[in-house]
Amino acid sequence: MSDKPVRENIRQHQALLAYSSMPDPSLQKLHQTWAEYVPKFKKPAFRTLKSWSAKYQWVERSQAIHQAAKDEAIKKIIANLTMGKEEILAITRAVMIRYGAQLKDNLQGRLTILDFERAWRIQRIELGLPTEIGSHEVAIKDCYEGISDEELILQLEELTAKYKERLSRQQVV
């Protein structure tokens, strides 16, 4: 439904916008408070407002305006709350690497093991993996004991590259 019909003049359109902006839209209230809502234009007769409302479908258009505003607000909220998987993984990976560097340099930093664990859990959730460590995962850790930090970081880089590739394929489909 169009926001402004072809034959509606500016005064009529301003009246519609005033009607739509009212907490509880009513032609009677609009007529009574015309100067507050539409100060630029001369106040029309009440029956003229009724005529405009019927002719230009104010009730339906007002509902459409409110629905569009709600939809836009929801989109903004969702956009502010959500990040792409790639961004989430990059942030969690950075936390984990920075914590690892802190440990390696034997420094006391702001990041704690709880931050590392939280980042690890978020990554697991994003990857669709369980967040609880099972016995099969504990048994695997032995194969990494003789690996240097550099080799482990290289393996992490390879896994990250594979995940990014898989993520880009999922977004294409």
pLDDT at 4: 55
The residue from 30, 55, 81 where one domain ends is 81
* Whole-angstrom distance, CA of residue 92 vs CA of residue 50: 59
Task: Using alpha carbons, select from 128, 119, 124 the residue that is nearest to residue 92.
Answer: 119
Is 5 a member of any domain? no
Convert the pLDDT of each residue in 43-84 to its tens digit. 999 999 999 999 999 999 999 999 999 999 888 877 766 667
pLDDT at 68: 92
Tell me if the pTM is above 0.75.
Answer: no
| Same domain (yes/no): 73, 100 | no
Looking at the structure of the chain, the number of domains it has is 2
| Alpha-carbon distance values, 107 to 102, 112, 160 (Å) | 5, 11, 26
Convert the pLDDT of each residue in 85-116 to its tens digit. 788 888 888 888 888 888 888 887 788 888 88
Q: What does the radius of gyration of the chain's CA atoms come to, in whole angstroms?
A: 30
What value does the mean pLDDT take over residues 125-130?
82
| Same domain (yes/no): 109, 166 | yes
| Same domain (yes/no): 67, 94 | no
| Same domain (yes/no): 90, 60 | no
| Same domain (yes/no): 94, 34 | no
| Same domain (yes/no): 118, 141 | yes
Domain span including residue 150: 85-172
The residue from 63, 81, 99 where one domain ends is 81
pLDDT at 51: 94
